[in-house]
Amino acid sequence: MSDLEIVRSISELRAAITGWRRDGQTVALVPTMGALHDAHMALMHEARSRADRVVATIFVNPTQFAADEDLDSYPRHEAADIEKLQTDGVDLLFAPEASEVYPDGFATTITVTGVSEGLCGDHRPGHFAGVATVVTKLLLQALPDIALFGEKDYQQLQVIHRLSRDLNIPVEILGVPTVREPDGLAMSSRNLHLSKAERDVAPQMYRTLMDVAARLRNGIGSEAACAAGRVQLAENGFSPVEYLEVRDAETLAQPLSGHSRRVLSAAWLGETRLIDSIPLP
Ligand code: PAF
């Protein structure tokens, strides 16, 4: 159990971090939207192993949700989240109100071209601009030594790598491998929305990605392997299947031979949109 300090304003966040820096301590930042689960706690543990101080943020960022998306129903469990952060020895929680992040007159949007396009970018217009804007703000507000993000949101991670390089933000961005339930389902706050029947089917997304990887290993071409994967998802009740594709692991463009690759998918189970991806050796 730690003495978790909870702050709601940017000035308090900066004051705490400035104090630590004055004492020569390093700082890791873990941005989240709350509803914390084991995958978030894996980020906190990794952060703890890499810096003297760990700062978590909880902010359900409205600008990354389209009007017809699940902003209102996004799970919010602040009291339980605080308990988890305390138990895990996180030093500080920054949990601002929307008006602190987006005060009246706010008019700036960070748009990352290329890597934001295609995949989730095609199906969630404006989503990555919202993510890029809030993450840029959080990085500049905290100016940590390192910021950690899960590889589960793989396209988001590549967008954040790109913006931090392009804007010369002096923060190391670290992707942490996806944490899975024992049956393979990638941990996600949205899994809470799955019915019992949907939860039983949900691990099929990971199995399908593994099957695509196996087909590729057996010499089947990526078009055919992905087409078979999309059919497999549909047969298991995923509808619609938004995409299942092999991409360059860094640029997310069509893969070039000799580059590392990743297979990525997004599909709906009932009212819940699931995404997952795995690296290809
Ligand atoms: O991955 C998330 O939880 C969010 O997209 C992030 C990075 C905290 C930005 O709101």
235: region left, alpha or beta (phi > 0 left; psi from -120 to 50 alpha): alpha
> What is the fold of 189-280?
Pantoate--beta-alanine Ligase; Chain: A,domain 2 (3.30.1300)
Q: Active-site residue among 40, 45, 161, 259?
A: 40
pLDDT of residue 115: 98
What digits encode the pLDDT tens for the residues 2-22? 699 999 999 999 999 999 999
To the query of whether residue 40 is one of the catalytic residues in this protein, the response is: yes
Q: Residue range 32-52: average pLDDT?
A: 98
Q: Which residue has its alpha carbon closest to ligand 1 atom 5?
A: 131
Q: With bands split at pLDDT 50, 70 and 90, how would you rate the model's confidence at 258?
A: confident
Ligand 1 centre from 218 Cα, in Å? 36
Q: Is 136 in the pocket of ligand 1 (CB under 6 A)?
A: no
At residue 240, the pLDDT reads 98
Full-model pTM: 0.97
Local confidence band at 257 (pLDDT 50, 70, 90 cut-offs): confident
* Domain range 5-176, its CATH number among 3.90.1300.10, 3.40.50.620, 3.40.430.10, 3.40.50.920: 3.40.50.620
Tokens at 191, concatenated: 């899994």
CA distance 22 to 18: 6
CB of 202 sitting under 6 A from ligand 1: no
Q: In the predicted model, what is the mean pLDDT of the chain?
A: 97
Residue 20: both structure tokens together = 């630590």
Res. 104: pLDDT tops 80: yes
Domain ranges of the chain: 5-176, 189-280
DSSP per-residue letters across the chain: ----EEE-SHHHHHHHHHHHHHTT--EEEEEE-S---HHHHHHHHHHHHH-SEEEEEE---GGGS-TTSSTTTS---HHHHHHHHHHTT--EEE---HHHHS-TT-------TTTTSSTHHHHSTTHHHHHHHHHHHHHHHH--SEEEEETTSHHHHHHHHHHHHHTT---EEEEEPPPB-TTSPBP-GGGGG--HHHHHHTTHHHHHHHHHHHHHHTT--HHHHHHHHHHHHHHTT--SEEEEEEEETTT-SS--TTS-EEEEEEEEETTEEEEEEEEE-
- Model pLDDT, residue 1: 67
The torsion angles phi and psi of 270, rounded to 5 degrees, stand at: 60, -125
**With 80 as the cut, is the pLDDT of residue 265 above it?**
yes
Residue pLDDT, tens place only, 161-207: 999 999 999 999 999 999 999 999 999 999 999 999 999 999 999 99
> Ligand 1 atom 3: the closest Cα is on which residue?
32
Q: Which atom of ligand 1 is nearest to the CA of 57?
A: 8
- CA–CA distance, 163 with 167 (Å, rounded to integer): 6
Segment 60-71, tens digit of pLDDT: 999 999 999 989
Structure tokens at 250: 């860094």
Q: Best substitution site from 61, 161, 273 to test ligand 1's pocket, by max atoms within 8 Å of Cβ?
A: 61
Instruction: Please tell me the distance between residue 275's alpha carbon and the centre of ligand 1 in angstroms.
Output: 14
Q: What is the pLDDT of residues 195-233, one digit of tens each?
A: 999 999 999 999 999 999 999 999 999 999 999 999 999
* Average pLDDT rounded to a whole number, residues 84-112: 98
Contact criterion met (CB below 8 Å) for 267 and 190: no
Instruction: Give me the mean pLDDT over the 133-142 stretch.
Output: 98
pLDDT of residue 256: 83
User: Which band of pLDDT confidence, cut at 50, 70 and 90, is reported for residue 105?
Assistant: very high
